[in-house]
Amino acid sequence: MTQHGYDSGRLNLPFTGITTFARSPYVEDWASIDADAAILGAPFDGGTQYRPGARFGPRAVREASTLFTFGHAGAYDHEDDVTYLGKDVGLVDIGDADIVHTDTLASHRNIESGVRAILEAGALPVVIGGDHSVNIPAINAFDNVSDIHILQIDAHLDFVDERHGVRYGHGNPMRRAAEKPYVSGLTQVGIRNVSSTAKEGYDAARGIGSDILSVRQARKLGARGVIERIPAGALVYVTLDIDAFCPSIAPGTGTPSHGGFLYYEVLEMLQALSQRNEVVGLDLVEVAPAYDPAGVTSILAAQVLMNTLGFIFHARMAGG
């Protein structure tokens, strides 16, 4: 029988104590990371084109994640008959990258340093943004890793090359990723409605082989059908923009777009991915709590991250 420690441990309710992601240990020294996965906050929103506020996303998602920390021995899912994120999975929170206000490049360098430290420790990097530009330094840090395929779940293509001299904003990350010799391909899912990327951006993305699917196209394929379009055996980095979800369940974001995914649609894609491919990195971006008065977007973000981490490590252990 699982030893939960309910009787012997502290009660440690979600609204008490210091807030780290999932109440995981805090590691201040990035040279001493010893874990299976490490959370890095990237509270930068200087790349935002419309409503700001995603700089407060990491703090809000961390606080929301405490809701899922009642158990002392992981979380049991009765549908899967699996206890996820038990004591055999080491999760730490290394705090936030240092953000230099008004300086995109310096802030991005600091985010990149955090992701590199996690990779050098042999852990899975999990970055909480911030706007989607924080994906640029995260992908920069993978230059010493074998080729990676990027799964982007998002309302927007984010394939703008340059606009008014801006190359590192939240509309540019997939274009910058596509320029990397170690990024082998892109699967872009959930793209819909009026986008910040013009037609030439879509043409350029398709020109480098990007697989672009709208929400309606993804629904026709089903979760597993979408994931089966990713090359078998590819190492996959996941970048999840919270505006991929319908704003009816995720209003707390700067650029909401109606017609988005519901919770289980994204969850099932991520579970199928974890079972089929090795996930080597993950970011979740664009949570802006000022537009989320009930906190439902932050809770959604935390729940998706917790479940995805559970899927990833359960699949690794089952395969190993």
* Strands 75-77, 82-84: pairing kind: antiparallel
Q: Around 163, how many Cα atoms within 13 Å sit in the side-chain half-sphere?
A: 17
201-217 tens-digit pLDDT? 899 999 999 999 999 99
Q: Is the pLDDT of residue 7 over 80?
A: no
Residues in the chain: 320
Which two tokens mark 67? 């809701």
Cis ω for the linkage preceding 130 (within 30 of 0)? yes
Neighbouring residues of 52: CB distance < 8 A, sequence distance ≥ 6:
45, 254, 288
DSSP 274-309: HHHSEEEEEEEE---GGG-TT-HHHHHHHHHHHHHH
Asked if residues 266 and 153 have their Cβ atoms less than 8 Å apart, the reply is yes
Of 294, 281, 199, nearest to 240 by C-alpha is 281
CB atoms within 10 A of CB 131: 31
Q: Does the reported pTM lie above 0.85? A: yes
Q: What confidence tier does 1 reach under pLDDT thresholds 50, 70, 90?
A: very low
pLDDT range class, residue 200, cuts 50, 70, 90: confident
Q: 188 — phi, psi (to 5°)? A: -115, 110
Reported as a single tens digit per residue, the pLDDT across 122-176 is: 999 999 999 999 999 999 999 999 899 999 999 999 999 898 899 999 999 999 9
- Nearest in space to 49 (alpha carbons), one of 282, 297, 253: 253
How large is the average pLDDT for residues 4-15?
A: 70
- Residue 59: CB atoms within 10 A of its CB come to 17
* Residue range 29-40, pLDDT digits in tens: 999 999 999 999
Q: How far, CA to CA in Å, does 188 sit from each of 206, 227, 231? A: 11, 11, 14
CA distance 282 to 174: 14
pLDDT at 12: 76
